[in-house]
Amino acid sequence: MSGLFQFKNLRTPAQQQGSSPLAQSSTVMSDETFKLFRDFIYTKSGIFFNDSKKYLLEGRVSKRLSINKVSTFEEYLQLLKSSQGRGELSALYEAITINETYFFRAEQQFDALEQIIIPEIIASKGNSLGTTVRLWSSASSTGEEAYTMAIIINERLKKKYPHVRFQIMASDINSAVLETARQGIYKEYAIRNVPPNLLTKYFKKDGATYQLSDEIRRQVTFLNVNLFDSSAMRSMQNFDIIFCCNVLIYFDLASKQQVISGLYDSLNKNGHLIIGYSESLHGVSKAFKLIHLPKAMVYKKE
Ligand SMILES: C[S@@+](CC[C@H](N)C(=O)[O-])C[C@H]1O[C@@H](n2cnc3c(N)ncnc32)[C@H](O)[C@@H]1O
């Protein structure tokens, strides 16, 4: 997806002419309420809406009002802040973020992972009995990125390194996408890049959907982790490889810096951070060494 962190809604033509369709109902988000929402979302998640995204936020949040049977944005904000609002927070994240992902999305990065990064990490750990390689897909959405790692490891690395243990964690801020990930049932869109032999081997077609094999599903542990939550981040330690792809675009500079510094702390020495093709740590962090591999760029903790 270009501009990988696109939001789900653009302003409608009516909104662009200045008459919001929401104005036809009694619910309009005032500038003041927009700022309250923006600050609330930012403090909780690091996700930042600038002023030009007001209509977008209004459109997405307005759908949650009717679902929750509240009539104003202010009441909805109170609900989010209350103890009953915890589950609703996840639904709000789902409404305001894009969860697009698919298997073998970043092909060149996965090639680098298999051919260079994992072999180097195993070599640096001594390639001995008991060696463990820990991988983390840190904004996993519905799981395709983490499961792609598992398929690659199963297919191409387990035989080469029979004594090495591979542990794969995957996490997201949104519990609904994590539930989908655990089920491992995907539509055509998600599997379109899977090589045909691997599709036959690891997926069972069932009508219009594809069920991922238990063998691969068992290899990934899914957790709800907010990258912006320092205490949750402290529980994610000793990783050798972290994918943090297509999520930085949600953050402003300060939250990018906080998230990247947290990921740095989560990595072992010689660990690698992989971010999206359209993303960069330029101006965000100098802690990593940028490594130019033949087909991909990765950030190394030395
Ligand atoms: C576009 S998806 C990226 C999926 C996958 N990494 C890829 O590149 O294909 C972005 C994901 O980031 C998640 N996200 C947004 N803010 C987050 C945060 N503060 N902590 C953890 N995940 C977050 C969203 O819920 C969404 O599932």
Mean pLDDT for the stretch of residues 90-105: 95
Task: Give the angle subtended at the CA of 21 by the CAs of 63 and 14, to the nearest 5°.
Answer: 130
Q: How many CA atoms lie within 13 A of 273 on its CB side?
A: 30
pLDDT at 87: 86
| Gap from CA of 217 to ligand 1 centroid (Å) | 20
> How many structural domains does the chain have?
2
Question: Which atom, in ligand 1's list, is nearest to the CA of 1?
Answer: 1
In a domain, 101, yes or no: no
pLDDT score at 106: 94
Domain of residue 199 covers: 107-300
Confidence of residue 9 (pLDDT cuts 50, 70, 90): very low
Mutation pick for ligand 1 pocket among 44, 90, 97 (CB with most ligand atoms within 8 Å): 97
Q: Which of 136, 173, 258 to mutate to test the pocket of ligand 1 (most atoms within 8 A of CB)?
A: 173
CATH number of the structural domain spanning residue 277: 3.40.50.150
CA 248 to ligand 1 centroid distance, Å:
8
Residue 164 has pLDDT above 80, yes or no: yes
| C-alpha of residue 186 to centroid of ligand 1, in Å | 18
The three-point CA angle 193-196-197 to 5° equals 130
pLDDT for 213:
98
In a domain, 6, yes or no: no
- Please give the pLDDT value at position 86: 82
Q: Kindly tell me if the per-residue pLDDT of 185 is higher than 90.
A: yes
Ligand 1 centroid – CA 259 distance (Å): 12
274 in the same domain as 227 = yes
Q: Are residues 75 and 26 in the same domain?
A: yes
- Which atom of ligand 1 is nearest to 142's Cα? 27
CATH number at residue 47: 1.10.155.10
My answer on whether 131 and 73 are in the same domain is no
Q: Domain check: are 137 and 265 in the same one?
A: yes
Does 183 share its domain with 286?
yes
Residues 64 and 144 placed together within one structural domain of the fold: no
Are 123 and 83 within one domain? no
